[in-house]
Structure 1
Amino acid sequence: MAGFGHGPKLECWEPEDNPWSEHIKRSPNCGFLAIRNNVGELTVAEFYHLEQERLHIYIRKTLYLKMLTLRSVFFFLICKYFDVN
């Protein structure tokens, strides 16, 4: 199971697990938890803020993974160029 906004994935999900309790435990800083009213009653401003936060997290994770890939390619090319084993 993955969270909508920030994507934490739960491994070994049990049928009796409560998704909301698990979400609170694993993602205490989630924007959804900060909203007091029903998610179905979000204002446009609240939704915009949550979407902005979600995109920020997504972009940061995506850039981090791209950076790791580029770093691996860079080290591979350097080692190959200098014939390092």
Structure 2
Amino acid sequence: MDIHNDENIKMYFYENRLKTFEGWPFDEDCECNAENMAKAGFIHTPSKTSPDVAMCFFCLKELEGWQPEDDPVEEHKSHSSSCTFITLKKKVEELTVKEFFNLQKEQCKFVVNKSCNEAVTKFEEAAKLRKAAIIRTAMGEE
């Protein structure tokens, strides 16, 4: 994920996050409606098997299994307490250039962390497969 591209920068703004919630399974009578989800920093990232997956565009935390009474801000804070975006005291439009760049720096940390975790997971899975192959070879099964 390139956090410096125009699409990512657009997600700082509520209206652009809200546009991602086309097909969101919860209506305006629910606490976790599209408007409240977008206000909490989420974008809609559904899959074929999980239509209610939402991810914070900033900290990249994905949540699913939403219930109509779930408060998106509280859920976001409880699952990603280190997300700087959800704790902003100002609207994005009110940030100084310096504050915005500091916010971008914080987002870089989330992106790098997620990327590293994915690489480690991929490596560990490959290592398990390789270990199993070595054991099969040692046991004369191949």
The answer, yes or no, to whether TM exceeds 0.5 is yes
Match of 1:13 in 2: 66
| AA of the residue aligned to 1:32 | F
SS across alignment from 1:7: coil
Structure 1-normalised TM-score? 0.71
Identity %: 27
Number of residue pairs the alignment of both structures matches:
85
Query: Contact (CA 8 Å) 2:73, 2:86: kept in 1 or not?
Result: no
Which sections of structure 2, spanning at least 5 residues, go unmatched? 1-53
Distance 1:78 1:62 in 2: 24
Match of 2:105 in 1: 52
SS across alignment from 1:74: helix
Runs of 4+ in structure 1 displaced over 6 angstroms?
none
Q: 1:66 to 1:30 in 2, by over 3 A?
A: same
Match of 1:30 in 2: 83
Which sections of structure 1, spanning at least 5 residues, go unmatched? none
Query: Contact (CA 8 Å) 2:59, 2:111: kept in 1 or not?
Result: yes
Higher RCO, 1 vs 2 (CA within 8 Å, ≥6 residues apart): 1
Match of 2:56 in 1: 3
Q: What value does the CA root-mean-square deviation take over the aligned residues?
A: 2.4
Match of 1:76 in 2: 129
Q: 1:74 to 1:45 in 2, by over 3 A?
A: same
Instruction: Name the one with the larger helix percent.
Output: 1
Structure 2-normalised TM-score? 0.48
Give 1:42 shift. 1.1
Provide, for residues 1-26 of structure 1, a one-character-per-residue CA deviation record: whole Å limited to 9, x for no partner. Answer: 21121122222334554433433333
Match of 1:41 in 2: 94
Give 1:50 shift. 1.2
